[in-house]
Structure formats: structure tokens, C-alpha cells
Amino acid sequence: MVTFELLDEPDSSITEPSTALRRQIQHLFGRSLHIRHVDAGSCNGCESEIKLLTSPYYDIHRLGIFFTTTPRHADLLLVTGAITRAMVDPLQRTYAAMPEPRLVVATGACACDGGIFGRSCLTLGRLSAILPVDTYIPGCPPTPLALIHGLLLTLGRAEQRLHRQILAHHADGKA
Ligand code: SF4
């Protein structure tokens, strides 16, 4: 017989990261973060894990994170795959269409450094060859929790980047 134990208090190891993530998103992007996902030559293993993020179990919508098909609405570009040469132009045009501050995340071993495909006549083997990557999420594929952790890291990086921009702005003597 299977029994379930009701917890009086939520597990803090689960609630604290999600609370921190929600605060970061609200601080940096208002009340929501919109992600444009681009498959640049994936085997679809990474996509299976990404898809789980919106399932009732992980439910990233409760954190204010959504996926969008429109780069003009996107704050963050999430790229999977070993970056096939055919996807270089679509990736660069997607990035160019996104408003600032825009973030880029290389997701999975393939986007980070080529993974099992590596660099070849068909693949660049790493996203950083064509776009400024803010965060690398390794794994083949990365789990949903690793993806959420990577988003946390990315948002911390965004805050630093914004901070540097503000400092540069003041250094130029602008108000
Ligand atoms: S990292 Fe692994 S799961 Fe993801 S696209 Fe590459 S081979 Fe597939």
C-alpha cells in the first residue's frame, strides 16, 4: 500500500529558488520573462525536457516565465542543437529582432560546445561562435531543474550587465 505524508511546511530547498527567481524576473523585466526557443540542429532530446517546464509539475508559468514564438516579444533566446550552418542566419535575425536587454542561453551540450556532433562541415559546434552567450546550461539533455537553475544564473548575469550599462552611462556624463 502506498501512503503519502502531508508536509506542514513546504520544502525550502524548492520554494527558495523559485521565490528568488520570481523576484529577479520582477526586478529586471517587470512581471514576466518571455523566452524564444530556437532549435538549431537538436536531436529533440533537449526539447523534450524544455517541454516539461510548462507541465503542471514544473509549471514555470507560476514564476512569470512564458514561451513566445515572436522574437520581438522575447527577453531571452534559448538555443538548442549543435548550430547547423543553415540556422546561422535565422539565429542572427532572431537575435537582431529582440529588444534590449536581451539574453542568450546555450542549452544542452550541443549548443555549449557541439556535444556528440561537434564541429563539422554542417555544424559550427557552439553557439558562442555567432552570438554573445550569457549562460551555458550543460547536460545531454539538461533536466528541467537544471534549466530552471540556468535561468536563475542568467537573470543574475542580466542584473550585472544592466548595472554595467548604467555605470557606463554615468561615466559618459549622461543623466
Ligand atoms: S545536448 Fe544531447 S539531447 Fe540535447 S540536442 Fe544535443 S544530443 Fe540531443
Kindly report the CATH number assigned to the domain that includes residue 142. 3.40.50.12280
Q: What is the pLDDT of residue 98?
A: 97
Q: What is the pLDDT of residue 25?
A: 73
Residue 51 within any structural domain of the chain: yes
Interval between CA 158 and ligand 1 midpoint (Å):
26
Interval between CA 116 and ligand 1 midpoint (Å):
8
Residue 156 within any structural domain of the chain: yes
**Smallest CA separation from ligand 1 atom 6, residue:** 110
Nearest alpha-carbon partner for 106 in 80, 85, 84, 130: 80
User: Cell numbers of 65, please?
Assistant: 516565465
> Is 78 or 29 the better-scoring residue by pLDDT?
78
Residue 66 within any structural domain of the chain: yes
Which SS3 state, helix, strand or coil, does residue 123 take?
A: strand
The pLDDT tens digits of the residues spanning 81-135 come to 999 999 999 999 999 999 998 999 999 999 999 999 999 999 999 999 999 999 9
Cβ(115) – ligand 1 distance below 6 Å: yes
Mean pLDDT of the chain: 84
Instruction: Provide the pLDDT confidence category of residue 172 given band limits of 50, 70 and 90.
Output: low
Residue 114 within any structural domain of the chain: yes
Residue range 46-50: average pLDDT?
Answer: 98
Residue range 129-148: average pLDDT?
Answer: 95
Residue 49 within any structural domain of the chain: yes
Question: Per-residue DSSP letters for 4-43?
Answer: -PPPSS--HHHHHHHHHHHHHHHHHHTT-EEEEEEESS--
Cβ(42) – ligand 1 distance below 6 Å: yes
Burial class for 16, CB neighbours closer than 10 Å (0-12, 13-18, 19+)? exposed
Residue 16 within any structural domain of the chain: no
Cβ(24) – ligand 1 distance below 6 Å: no
> Is 28 or 90 the better-scoring residue by pLDDT?
90
Q: Considering its fold, how many domains does the chain have in total?
A: 1
Residue 2 within any structural domain of the chain: no
The pLDDT tens digits of the residues spanning 51-92 come to 999 999 999 998 889 999 999 999 999 999 999 999 999 999
Q: What is the pLDDT of residue 32?
A: 83
Residue 20 within any structural domain of the chain: no
Interval between CA 95 and ligand 1 midpoint (Å):
22
Domain housing 93: 31-171
